Structure 1
Amino acid sequence: MASSNRTKLLSATAYVQMANSSRQMVASPPPRQHFLFVTDPIQSHVNSARRLAARVAAAMPNARVTFSTAVSCHRVMFPHLKSPDGEVLQGVVSYIPYSDGFDGGFNPEVHGGADAYWPRARAVGSETLCAVVALLAGRGRPVTRVVYTALVGWVPDVVCAQGVSVALYWAKPATAFAVYHHYFHGHAELLAACASDPSPDAAVRLPGLAPLKRDALPSFASMASPGKRHYLTLGMLRDLFSALDEHGSTVLVDTFDALEPDALRAVPQLDVVAVGPVAAGEPRKRCVDLLLARDAKACMEWLDTKPPRSVVYASFGSILSVSKRQEEEMRRGLDATGRPYLWVARRITNGGGGDGERARVVEWCDQRRVLSHPAVGCFVTHCRWDSTLESLTGGVPMVAVPRWADQTTVAALVEESAGLGVRARVDAEGVMSRGELQRCVEIVMGGADGAAVSVREWAERWARLAEAAVSAGGTSERNLRAFASEA
């Protein structure tokens, strides 16, 4: 751990000794409930966890809520702090960072790939998070419960040793959670066999779940052996589920009962509860865009000039880049639809589709505001779960183009379970052709009858159900209040 971090945070041991000394001197009443949320610095995880933290604070006005992410992300959220790593009070939530060993941000070209990030993040993060917990105790605010996200699965080992209970926040579908749990609990061979079955009708039956087709399973085939691009992800998931087995835990899922009723009950060994969609009805001020959406205002002004349900919005996220061929097929496909489109393409190399009356190509935008704008008629998406829920809560139909991991599971939910859109076909290289994009957009945005009408009706229905779930007395609101009120 860098010496600068040692000077900024007193050691965990020192703080624990201070706390023990204070308890010996004065008998104090039971501590006020204090929730500590811990997440990695990935934008989608930070935003989702912040939304949940704000909801817990609203459900328990007398409780304390603190949010902790890596120093690099904390500095982006609060760029004008005199002490860039200091604690911040924003509304009813306090923010205090831990160090993941990359305080200036992780750069794969400089530091190496994920293989270099995660081991160091776990080692340094374990030490500095321990110090954060002790620091809060030393300030008279002992943590009583920690809520952590999937990519910081080392958190239970740190805080449970200090007698603090934990809960996992799973910001993905409950179906994916159940599939992963079954994979690590005796069904790996069954899932691997289905994933490698060449039959298009291949399906697998897992306890508590409806049959899942091969193309609805997470991409285990690209994760299951050393040397594969995402092999490390599977190892991290294995550690996560081992921690759940060891420590036992409540699992808070960003979904709602009406959307995934079977999956939420498919792992009876754990207390799996729906608390989402956390984005539904959520004020914009709770979010942070780590990519600094410079074009947000211009995008909204451009959308204001377009008729209702006329615009195709396309984005494949902020982490994985698309191939040059996919970029070209996307550009030509969007042009071929004959509809106005807003395309988020962070690494455009061929100029995109221009920037004018019918087409706007930007590096980033305020996606939640875009998906809630009445001009947007469909969302071409890679099916990251938070983006999918933002589209669902906005009542926007989807063209699903999953790329890896559980995005395939999300795509199946979008098309088959929820009727919210259509899944695009891709070729052997994973590329969606221009003609396929045009076909899919027409299905979800077509005329006044047929499939498009059904998709729009389902989209509007799911938006209402999502809003009801998080409103007062709704299923997710009751679940979250019950969790927050536990001693």
Structure 2
Amino acid sequence: MAMENSPPSPHFLFVVSGIQGHINPARRLATSLMTSSTPAAVRVTFSVPVSAHRLMFPSLTSPDEETVDDAGVTYIPHSDGFDDGYNQEVHGTSTYKSRTQAAGTETLAAIVAALAARGRPATRIVYTFLVVWVPAVARELGIPAAIYWIQPAAVFAVYYHYFHGHDAALAACATSDGDDDHAVVRLPGMPPLRSDELPSPVSITSPAHRHYLLLDMLRDLFRDIDELRPTVLVNTFDALEHDALRAVPELEILAVGPVVPDDGESSQSNTDIFRRDGDANASSYMDWLDTKPARSVIYVSFGTILTMSERQVEEMRRGLEATGRPYLWVSRHDAAAVSEKGMVVEWCDQVRVLSHEAVGCFVTHCGWNSALESVTRGVPMVAVPQWTDQPTVAWLVGERMGAGVRARVDGEGVVERGELRRCVELAMSTDGDGDGVRAQAEQWRKRAEEAVAVGGSSERNLRAFALGP
């Protein structure tokens, strides 16, 4: 009888948008929960939209077939109303929220019911920030919820304050030209932030803006956060964002990162849902790196979403050539004109590359996943942020950590060849300020390692969360 009345084992149901930059950190956290040091066995079920599930597991006989990975995480897809994939140019944005909410609510509720019928009820729902309809489902079903914030804590704090009375000040700062009194904003619990250090959505002032849907979804997200007060798990660590993690005292915010693969080998919790041209050439670029001296190679990648202008591609190519250093460049552009010093691939295993001793710096768009992978490998960065959280990530990399150099852009938002060369030389130099950048990168590698080690601040937070509410 005592066993019949005992609470169910912890069972975390992850609900994640079908974007690679969301799937990867969420899969890694799910795997970490499975292996956390807890008295009871932890179960994890992972749900992405059918379209993403199909790309993650292309060998399944049915696009909605359930599967289990080597870590024991179960994958059951939900529908977001776009089972063949969402394309903004084709589908538009006017009905996106209502369509995803209707399909997602119905299919997620069915997943929860099916799990309960198997004797495996979900005890906590963990969601990422673009599936804004999930909190309502959790509330309706009476299941505690937690949000996994896959961007810096500083970005979460900026958004929170934006939706709590600081929207006008943030918009004025973000849209200023940097030369007036509005070029700096001061938020509760945060250091002053310049206009070019703010996440781009706070600059959106009109529903006609092409990215207004993102701001609108963030508004929904923070409205539900106010109502539900979920635990906020952040892919960061206390030594890096001590102030930002405490800038919203109304909420329980826990650093659980950096949540990155453990080593340079391909991780089972890493997903690439794009075409892997580089798979067939993995041995070639790794063999090429093997021929290069330690810390000599410039690694360049701007993620899976950003499309560079033709002028930026040309300036990048000429700037890399001007350094006289070998470089490995991940680019979907035709780069046949590069010299023998450079190698250009359409895809590579970024973690393996950053772990290679030949890599001396990383020219990056400052996506948070990429930045954390670089931090945990002690690789100095050249920051070339574009939008969303990337300007704030560049601030963390350059101003807070001193582990990178932020590149200046011209009036068209392009990093010119001379500026790229200057930043690369500063990041890779072995004396003066350059030595400081490299030394800081190594110091932050150690701090990140300490946070996730047994007894570290992030490891303790994750273990406490795994025990349940």
Q: Check whether the contact 1:392–1:459 (CA below 8 A) recurs between aligned residues.
A: yes
CA 36–461 in structure 1, closer or farther in 2 if over 3 Å, else same: same
Tell me the CA shift for residue 84 of structure 1. 3.2
Which residue matches 1:451? 433
1:312 is the counterpart of 2:298: yes
The correspondence for 1:342, drawn from 328, 331, 335, is 328
Q: Could you list the per-position Cα deviations for residues 137-180 of structure 1 after superposition, in whole angstroms to 9, with x for gaps in the alignment?
A: 11111111000001112101012211100000000000010011
Q: Check whether the contact 1:280–1:470 (CA below 8 A) recurs between aligned residues.
A: no
Q: Check whether the contact 1:329–1:433 (CA below 8 A) recurs between aligned residues.
A: yes
Q: Please identify, of 287-296 and 253-262, the stretch whose mean Cα deviation from structure 2 is larger.
A: 287-296
Which residue matches 1:152? 131
Query: Which aligned pairs between 1:77-96 and structure 2 lie closer than 5 A?
Result: 77-90=56-69, 91-96=71-76
Query: Which aligned pairs between 1:58-207 and structure 2 lie closer than 5 A?
Result: 58-59=35-36, 60=38, 62-90=41-69, 91-109=71-89, 111-115=90-94, 117-200=96-179, 202-207=183-188
Tell me the CA shift for residue 27 of structure 1. 6.7
Q: Distance in 2 between matches of 1:142 and 1:224?
A: 43
Tell me the CA shift for residue 486 of structure 1. 2.3
Tell me the CA shift for residue 52 of structure 1. 0.4
Q: Check whether the contact 2:235–2:255 (CA below 8 A) recurs between aligned residues.
A: yes
CA 334–352 in structure 1, closer or farther in 2 if over 3 Å, else same: farther
Tell me the CA shift for residue 30 of structure 1. 2.7
Q: Give the unaligned 5+ runs of structure 2.
A: none
Which residue matches 1:301? 287
Which residue matches 2:308? 322
1:286 is the counterpart of 2:260: no
CA 362–407 in structure 1, closer or farther in 2 if over 3 Å, else same: same
Q: Distance in 1 between matches of 2:301 and 2:125?
A: 33
CA 199–412 in structure 1, closer or farther in 2 if over 3 Å, else same: same
User: How many equivalent pairs are there?
Assistant: 457
Q: Distance in 1 between matches of 2:82 and 2:15?
A: 16
Q: SS of 2:237's equivalent?
A: coil
Tell me the CA shift for residue 457 of structure 1. 0.6
Q: What one-letter code is carried by the residue in structure 1 that aligns with 2:458?
A: S
Q: Check whether the contact 1:276–1:469 (CA below 8 A) recurs between aligned residues.
A: yes
Q: Check whether the contact 1:281–1:467 (CA below 8 A) recurs between aligned residues.
A: no
Q: SS of 2:221's equivalent?
A: helix
Q: What's the TM-score once normalised by structure 2's chain length?
A: 0.93
Q: Distance in 2 between matches of 1:300 and 1:462?
A: 26
Q: Check whether the contact 1:223–1:229 (CA below 8 A) recurs between aligned residues.
A: no
1:478 is the counterpart of 2:460: yes
CA 401–115 in structure 1, closer or farther in 2 if over 3 Å, else same: farther
Q: Could you list the per-position Cα deviations for residues 54-73 of structure 1 after superposition, in whole angstroms to 9, with x for gaps in the alignment?
A: 11111146121111111111
Q: What's the TM-score once normalised by structure 1's chain length?
A: 0.90
Q: Distance in 2 between matches of 1:119 and 1:386?
A: 29
1:267 is the counterpart of 2:248: yes
The correspondence for 1:365, drawn from 348, 354, 372, is 348
Which residue matches 1:39? 16
Which residue matches 1:11? none
Which residue matches 1:12? none
Q: What one-letter code is carried by the residue in structure 1 that aligns with 2:462?
A: L
Q: SS of 1:317's equivalent?
A: coil
Q: Distance in 1 between matches of 2:201 and 2:49?
A: 29
Q: Check whether the contact 2:10–2:466 (CA below 8 A) recurs between aligned residues.
A: no
Q: What one-letter code is carried by the residue in structure 2 that aligns with 1:167?
A: A
Q: Distance in 2 between matches of 1:288 and 1:226?
A: 34
Tell me the CA shift for residue 404 of structure 1. 1.1
Tell me the CA shift for residue 94 of structure 1. 0.8
Q: What one-letter code is carried by the residue in structure 1 that aligns with 2:163?
A: F
Q: Give the unaligned 5+ runs of structure 1.
A: 1-25
Q: Check whether the contact 1:222–1:231 (CA below 8 A) recurs between aligned residues.
A: no
Q: What one-letter code is carried by the residue in structure 1 that aligns with 2:325?
A: R
1:399 is the counterpart of 2:386: no
1:254 is the counterpart of 2:231: no
Q: Please identify, of 281-290 and 368-377, the stretch whose mean Cα deviation from structure 2 is larger.
A: 281-290
CA 316–180 in structure 1, closer or farther in 2 if over 3 Å, else same: same
Q: Distance in 1 between matches of 2:178 and 2:138?
A: 46
CA 222–214 in structure 1, closer or farther in 2 if over 3 Å, else same: closer
Which residue matches 1:410? 393
Tell me the CA shift for residue 357 of structure 1. 4.2
Q: Check whether the contact 2:162–2:202 (CA below 8 A) recurs between aligned residues.
A: no
Q: SS of 1:84's equivalent?
A: coil
1:51 is the counterpart of 2:28: yes
Q: What one-letter code is carried by the residue in structure 1 that aligns with 2:371?
A: T
Q: Distance in 1 between matches of 2:437 and 2:119?
A: 53
CA 114–464 in structure 1, closer or farther in 2 if over 3 Å, else same: farther
Tell me the CA shift for residue 213 of structure 1. 1.6
**Alignment RMSD:** 1.8
Which residue matches 1:4? none
Q: What one-letter code is carried by the residue in structure 1 that aligns with 2:15?
A: V
The correspondence for 1:461, drawn from 426, 443, 453, is 443
Tell me the CA shift for residue 82 of structure 1. 2.6
Q: Distance in 2 between matches of 1:406 and 1:367?
A: 20
**Identity percentage of aligned residues:** 59
Q: Check whether the contact 2:162–2:170 (CA below 8 A) recurs between aligned residues.
A: yes
Q: SS of 1:361's equivalent?
A: strand
